[in-house]
Amino acid sequence: MADYEARTSSGARRPRPISPHLQIYRPMLTMVMSIVHRITGSALYFGMLLLAWWLIAAASGPNAYANVEWFMGSLIGQLILFGYTWALLHHMLGGIRHLVWDTLHGFDPADREWMTVATLVGSIGLTVALWVVGYLAMGGPR
Amino acid sequence: MTEPMFRTPLRRVRGLGAARSGTGHFWHQRVTSVAGVLLTVALIVIVISLLGRSHAAAVQILGSPLIAILMLLFIINTAYHMWLGMQEIILDYVHEDKWKFLALMSNTFFVSVVGLASAFAILKLSFGV
Ligand code: HEM
């Protein structure tokens, strides 16, 4: 489509500049985390179906609610919820990192590195902590 | 058809990007992110406080004004945020117009249904019947 082609003033086609693509670079934690932010965002996107299901069930009545509780309590349900907790916390911390970058801070290599590690350690640590709290809220080891 | 030949740079700029809606989205993404931090913390507290409770108790808590308002804010804010975010993902990976607009439309449908259904459930829990 003519629209998308670069042209010189005389109308001739001009080749687009080319830069090395991703696989040229040595993978680094910061790169991996960048795509993980997108992956967690997508997972949360579809995961919002779970929130909708849970709320609609609560609004529908005890039977529908019991079904959700049964599913969330099953092994697969627990795995999904655990994953969702981590994805949410990781995406949130990663998002805060993006907001810090928007203020033009945190760009030098040392800052990038520690913020990345903090996001990872923080999201895993918080996920485990929340599940311990949740476990205790459910009545703990009975 | 031949219009692009005569396009001035300004005319191209007014095309406002691949989704034809300009840079406003970038800012909205940031606003919904800042709000998202607070509302996500609220959601986590609410969910944990509901763990292990009966249906009747859950209905009462979710339908109480403060909790319902926080839930609605979370739902609305997240719906807009995820709509913008998915649009950005689509624009990055889907380049053919036909598929691009189909994907953008699906994004809008998905977010509308999930957002409205969740919000409706909260309203029903609040106003009963
Ligand atoms: C369940 C809740 C959430 C969902 C469904 C969601 C979904 C998404 C999606 C689909 C994207 C696009 C990803 C991309 O372009 O790579 C995104 C981006 C983003 N999200 Fe979220 N998100 C949620 C919560 C949050 C929270 C709590 C924050 C708090 C900081 C946040 C901050 C961001 C930021 C800053 C971006 C843009 C990143 C960029 O510019 O590349 N999100 N989100």
Sketch out chain A's domains with CATH numbers. 29-137 (1.20.1300.10)
- Long-range (24+ apart) CB contacts under 8 A made by B108-115 are B108/B83, B111/B79, B111/B82, B111/B83, B111/B86, B112/B79, B114/A48, B114/A49, B114/A52, B114/B79, B115/B75, B115/B76, B115/B78, B115/B79
- The second-level CATH assignment, the architecture, of B24-127 is Up-down Bundle (1.20)
> Tens of pLDDT along chain A (142 residues)?
444 556 677 777 777 777 777 677 777 788 888 899 999 999 999 999 999 999 999 999 999 999 999 999 999 999 999 999 999 999 999 999 999 998 888 888 888 889 999 999 999 999 999 999 999 988 877 6
Distance CA A59, CA B123 (A): 9
Nearest chain A Cα distance for residue B114, angstroms = 6
Report whether pLDDT(B43) > 60: yes
Q: Is the CB of residue B33 less than 8 Å from the CB of residue A98?
A: yes
Pocket of ligand 1 (CB under 6 A): A 37-38, 41-42, 44-45, 48, 88, 91-92, 95-96, 98-99; B 29, 33, 36-37, 40, 78, 81-82, 85-86, 88-89
Contacts of B51 in chain A (CB under 8 A): 134, 137-138
Evaluate if pTM is beyond 0.95: no
Better-scored residue on pLDDT, B13 or A65: A65
Distance CA A56, CA B122 (A): 8
In chain B, domain spans: 24-127
The predicted pLDDT at position B39 comes to 98
Arithmetic mean of pLDDT over chain B: 89
Distance CA B72, CA B35 (A): 13
In chain A, the largest separation of any two C-alpha atoms, in whole Å, equals: 81
Residue whose Cα lies nearest atom 43 of ligand 1: it is: A41
Nearest chain B Cα distance for residue A49, angstroms = 6
A&B contacts, CB < 8 Å: 82
pLDDT tier for residue B7 given thresholds of 50, 70 and 90 = low
pLDDT tier for residue B3 given thresholds of 50, 70 and 90 = very low
